[in-house]
């Protein structure tokens, strides 16, 4: 609910900003092609993630590369019977719940150029920045212990095409292109018996698409509002669970640990069920047009 409130507020401010000034702006810009040329700018706003209810952690117990196994205790009971949540675990037990995924502010710099022919505008924009968002999923074992796998956006760059229609000094456009992002894969657990090693490439290709409105205020200054959807395939994060030092020194504990039970005593591998890092972004923009 908080996110919707922030988005609505942002949209209201941006809309008010755009439509409050046209009469004044029109007086200052009489260019035939107000959107042609190079520009540099900045964008900032609030990024939110779609609901990922039902996401979980999947397990490969037998080492065959398929994440379709259950992790069982020595008695055959499901060691993860307490279940999963689509956030980060607050504590070791499910009763204390999970934190929601982190949505957050975004701030980008951008540069590009447009070519205008009549009302038609096409162009390219390059953008670089970051958004304070994290996407987590947590599992709870009967130990009790919790296991949180998180992906966090460190930075994102994109090159997008823009195409739109200009109505005098107002441009309505669609945009889409390739994105390249650094995504950190993180792992947290309250399990102190086993050893955990997290792996996974952290630079991913994806795509960005959306649309927006840009309004020229002066010959050189424009502001706007833009919605974009971002999606990156992030499917190779793995957490390898093996016997920790405490287990290795105790044959009884070792012989009863669900992650290293016979026949595969080498360990268990985790991966996330949701393979994509997705988010929506609503930003205000400001540009200086040369």
What CA–CA distance (Å, rounded) separates 238 from 60?
10
- Count the Cβ atoms, other than its own, within 10 Å of residue 169: 22
From 104, 123, 212, 267, residue interacting with another protein (rule: CB under 8 A): 267
By CB under 8 A, residue 134 contacts another protein:
yes
Number of residues that bind another protein (CB under 8 A): 52
Closest CA to 130 of 4, 212, 230: 230
Q: Which is nearer to another protein, 42 or 254 (CB)?
A: 254
Query: How many Å apart are CA 214 and CA 229, to the nearest integer?
Result: 18
Peptide bond into 144 cis (omega under 30): yes
Question: Minimum CB separation from another protein for residue 99, in Å?
Answer: 8
Which residues are bridge partners to 241 per DSSP? Answer: 196, 268
List the interface residues with another protein, window 192-251 (CB under 8 A).
Answer: 195-198, 240, 242-251
- Whichever of 125 and 260 has its CB closer to another protein, that residue is 260
Residue given tokens 């999963």 in the structure block: 84
Instruction: Write out the DSSP string of 126-137.
Output: EEEEEE--EEEE
Contact call for residue 89 and another protein (CB under 8 A): yes
Considering beta carbons, is residue 165 or 255 the nearer one to another protein?
255
Distance CA 239, CA 84 (A): 16
Question: Given the complex with another protein, which of 98 and 213 has the nearer CB atom?
Answer: 98
- Does 90 sit near another protein (CB under 8 A)? yes
Of these, 38, 74, 165, 178, which contacts another protein (CB under 8 A)?
74
Encoding tokens for residue 66? 């398929």
- Give the gyration radius of the chain's Cα atoms: 25
The binder of another protein chosen from 61, 110, 130, 152 (CB under 8 A): 152
Nearer to another protein among residue 201 and residue 266 (C-beta): 266
The residues binding another protein (CB under 8 A) are 73-75, 88-93, 95-96, 99, 102, 134, 136, 142-144, 146, 148, 150, 152, 184, 186-190, 195-198, 240, 242-256, 260, 265-267
């Amino acid at each position: 609910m908080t996110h919707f409130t922030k988005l609505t507020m942002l949209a209201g401010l941006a809309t008010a900003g755009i439509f409050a000034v046209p009469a004044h702006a029109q007086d200052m810009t009489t260019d035939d092609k107000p959107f042609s040329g190079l520009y540099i700018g900045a964008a900032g706003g609030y990024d939110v993630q779609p609901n990922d209810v039902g996401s979980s952690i999947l397990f490969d117990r037998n080492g065959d590369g398929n994440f379709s196994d259950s992790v069982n205790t020595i008695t055959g009971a499901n060691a993860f019977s307490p279940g999963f949540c689509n956030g980060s675990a607050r504590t070791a037990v499910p009763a204390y719940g999970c934190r929601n995924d982190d949505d957050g502010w975004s701030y980008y710099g951008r540069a590009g150029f447009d070519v205008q022919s009549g009302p038609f505008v096409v162009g390219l924009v390059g953008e670089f920045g970051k958004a304070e968002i994290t996407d987590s999923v947590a599992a709870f074992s009967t130990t009790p212990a919790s296991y949180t796998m998180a992906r966090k956006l460190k930075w994102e760059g994109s090159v997008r095409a823009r195409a739109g229609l200009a109505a005098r000094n107002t441009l309505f456009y669609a945009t889409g292109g390739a994105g390249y992002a650094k995504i950190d894969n993180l792992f947290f657990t309250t399990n102190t018996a086993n050893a955990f090693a997290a792996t996974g490439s952290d630079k991913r290709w994806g795509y960005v698409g959306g649309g927006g409105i840009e309004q020229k205020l002066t010959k050189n200054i424009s502001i706007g509002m833009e919605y974009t959807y971002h999606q990156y395939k992030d499917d190779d994060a793995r957490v390898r669970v093996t016997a920790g030092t405490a287990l290795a020194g105790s044959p009884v504990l070792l012989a009863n640990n669900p992650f290293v039970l016979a026949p595969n005593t080498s360990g268990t591998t985790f991966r996330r069920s949701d393979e994509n890092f997705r988010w929506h972004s609503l930003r205000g923009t400001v540009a200086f047009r040369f």
